[in-house]
């Protein structure tokens, strides 16, 4: 049975701290977007940065041009490169913490999912859930395969941006559509945004799971991050709470060191584990297969 948490425990819970961090970064971007729309419209000569100037993916897109020519592709700036470097440093230390703690688009999807869970008991959603339960095996396979799609997106963007020297992804980028929402342009990006927002009510972080090219980069680089979550087999009671609380459907209860590229370091599993079997560890950066053999050797 779970003991009820006190106020102090609640305020110090990772869920609450994560909410604060996510809300802080999301509000900052919302404020920048508001200023860009309102102030820039009223005083055209004033320099008001666009929220796109803070997007690390702009840094990925412009990096090749910046390194080879010292210039930036259209709509990207030095700030994009700097935020990308900050993201890479964070990833080398803490794996996908950017996704779980900072990215405003991940935050939005997460909050919509919470809302989705609240309305899950309504009749149309109940029948949808029943439909999904009947096809659970098939949907799980689809989910497993669909997660590789983000790597295809990444390769396409890198190839296109280097070949054409423009942001080829911008017309399809739901985040770019979101931060320019007042411009209401009904293009591919707006359609993708609408699909992602609707899916977010039913699936945890659909964009992060299946299509985010930045998530793909972070997941790959995060494999060699310094800090990782690990499960101590001797403490684990196999209750499965961690698996139930994991938004990325990772099999935590059977993992050793969690090096799964989809883990966003939300720390839900850590917080929920009643046996304290999960913890954060400073690890020596070693590639996946080595981690696997270490896990087996240590009985993790």
Partner 1 sequence: MLLARINKYVYILLVIIIFLGVIQGAKGLGYWSVSGKTNSWGKRIELTGRDPEEIRGWMSLGEVARAYNIPLEEILAAFNLPPDLSGQTLLRDVEKIVWERNLNSNFSPQNLREWLKLKTRGKTVDPD
Give the residue among 5, 8, 15, 4 at the shortest CA–CA distance from 267. 15
Long-range contacts of the stretch 296-300 (C-beta < 8 A, 24+)? 296/256, 298/256, 299/233, 299/234, 300/230, 300/231, 300/232, 300/233, 300/256, 300/257
Measured from the CB of residue 267, what is the shortest distance to partner 1 in angstroms?
6
Using CB under 6 A, which residues numbered 151 to 190 contact ligand SF4?
none
- By beta-carbon proximity to partner 1, the closer residue of 90 and 200 is 90
Interface residue list for partner 1 (CB under 8 A) = 12, 14, 17-18, 21, 44-45, 47-50, 53-54, 72, 77-79, 82-83, 85-87, 89-90, 93-94, 97-98, 101-102, 227, 230, 257, 267, 270, 279-284, 286, 294, 298
Q: Is 275 in the site for ligand SF4 (CB under 6 A)?
A: yes
Residues in contact with 49: Cβ distance below 8 Å, sequence separation at least 6, in sequence order: 32, 36, 79
- Minimal distance in Å, beta carbon 264 to ligand SF4? 5
Q: Rule CB under 6 A: which of 219-248 touch ligand SF4?
A: 229, 231, 236-242, 245-248
> 285 CB contacts (<8 Å, ≥6 apart)?
224, 225, 226
Closest to 179 in 3D by CA, of 187, 168, 189: 189
Residue 212 binds ligand SF4 (CB under 6 A): no
Q: Which residues bind ligand SF4 (CB under 6 A)?
A: 229, 231, 236-242, 245-248, 250, 252-253, 258, 263-269, 272-273, 275, 277-278
């Amino acid at each position: 049975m779970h003991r009820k948490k006190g106020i102090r425990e609640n305020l110090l819970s990772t869920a609450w701290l994560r909410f604060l961090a996510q809300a802080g970064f999301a509000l900052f971007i919302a404020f920048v977007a508001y200023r860009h729309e309102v102030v820039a419209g009223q005083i055209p000569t004033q320099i008001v940065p666009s929220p796109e100037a803070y997007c690390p993916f702009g840094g990925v897109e412009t990096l090749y041009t910046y390194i080879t020519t010292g210039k930036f592709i259209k709509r990207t700036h030095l700030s994009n490169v700097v935020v990308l470097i900050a993201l890479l440093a964070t990833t080398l230390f803490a794996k996908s913490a950017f996704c779980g703690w900072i990215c405003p688009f991940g935050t939005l999807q997460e909050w919509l999912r919470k809302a989705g869970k609240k309305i899950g008991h309504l009749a149309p959603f109940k029948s949808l859930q029943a439909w999904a339960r009947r096809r659970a095996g098939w949907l799980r396979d689809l989910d497993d395969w669909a997660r590789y799609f983000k790597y295809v997106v990444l390769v396409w963007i890198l190839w296109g941006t280097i070949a054409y020297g423009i942001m080829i992804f911008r017309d399809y980028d739901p985040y770019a559509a979101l931060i320019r929402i007042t411009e209401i342009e009904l293009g591919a990006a707006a359609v993708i945004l609408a699909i992602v927002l609707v899916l977010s009510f039913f699936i945890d972080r659909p964009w992060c799971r299946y299509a985010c090219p930045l998530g793909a980069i972070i997941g790959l680089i995060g494999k060699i991050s310094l800090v990782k979550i690990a499960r101590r087999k001797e403490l684990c009671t196999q209750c499965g709470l961690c698996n139930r609380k994991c938004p990325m459907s990772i099999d935590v209860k059977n993992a050793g060191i969690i090096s799964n590229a989809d883990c966003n370091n939300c720390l839900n599993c850590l917080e929920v584990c009643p046996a304290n079997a999960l913890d954060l560890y400073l690890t020596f950066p070693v590639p996946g297969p080595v981690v696997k053999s270490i896990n087996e050797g240590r009985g993790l």
